[in-house]
Amino acid sequence: MANPNGITPDTPGAPFFARWNAFVRELNIDPSVKLVARTMADHADDQGKQCAPGSNTLALETSYSKRTIYNALVALKELGIVVRTKQGVPWQGTHDEYQLLIPSNWEDVLRAGDKPQISAAPEPHEAMPVILFEGNEETQELPPAPPQPEQRRKKKAKQQRDNGPTVLYRYYDEEDLLLYIGISNDMRHRLSGHEKASTWMDFAVRSTIERFPTRDEAEAAEREQIGAHRPLFNSQFNDYPERQKNLVEYLIGKGRYDLLAANVSRG
């Protein structure tokens, strides 16, 4: 292993920071993932623990977008070398806390370098990834609907609203905080409406959807999940004493004083 300092991931007595960098240096991962991994080490203790820089700090120090930071963290967690040990509470000013891990079989991990490179894609200008949940399985990306004449589209949309399959969708921010839950028969139209009018879209970095055979079933699930998970920006079915306080603290924490007005929670 080429290392100018002669330090390897298991060099006895070497600081964790140096051993971590020696390990990350040889990983076959996207450069953005590698830089995020190294930057996180700057914020960890001498055992790789208590690492809680927050996405804003990581974005500032790496010059990457928050979307790239989020995807890099996902890639590192999938490798099993970054583990979240504590979930932050954004409106209280705390961030997710992580532990950096050098696996005992690190040589085996490095020998897997002939496998495809692990990437942090996509960049912010690309479409937001959507994960479809069907039972316990996950599949990636809902294929776009084929174009159709306006009259036919309206007729089909009306039929779907009346009795067709419906999806329940959830949006999360970069700290994996649940922002909003909704349902729709026409996700293209609904997403377009959110992008134009929903203030929480400024903070959304990922979404998931769950399919239901009828709108009635989706509505029942929506009501149940809003009550159980308390998404920050939902107002309907979400009337609990601290909701407005949490919403205001979240916006202040994000520096979005411009949104501290009526209807900031509109969907």
47: domain range? 16-114
For residue 19, the tally of other CB atoms under 10 A from its CB is: 21
Question: Given 114, 148, 169, which residue is the final one in a domain?
Answer: 114
Could you tell me the pTM of the whole model?
Answer: 0.50
110 and 50 belong to one structural domain: yes
How far is CA 208 from each of CA 21, 28, 170, rounded to the nearest angstrom? 34, 29, 5
36 and 71 belong to one structural domain: yes
Confidence of residue 126 (pLDDT cuts 50, 70, 90): very low
134 and 94 belong to one structural domain: no
pLDDT tens digit sequence for 15-72: 998 899 988 988 888 899 999 999 999 999 999 999 999 888 898 899 988 888 989 9
- Tokens 């495809």 locate to 116
Q: Write the CATH number for 55.
A: 1.10.10.10
Q: What's CA 27's distance to the chain center, in Å?
A: 23
- Of 43-52, 76-85, 174-183, 192-201, the range with the lowest mean pLDDT is 192-201
* Cα(62)–Cα(36) distance, integer angstroms: 7
74 and 171 belong to one structural domain: no
166 and 232 belong to one structural domain: yes
Beta strand ranges found along 70-205 (DSSP E): 82-86, 97-100, 130-134, 137-140, 166-172, 178-184
Task: Specify the number of domains making up the chain.
Answer: 2
Are the CB atoms for 178 and 170 separated by under 8 Å?
yes
121 occurs within a structural domain:
no
DSSP 261: S
Partners of 130 in the beta sheet?
207
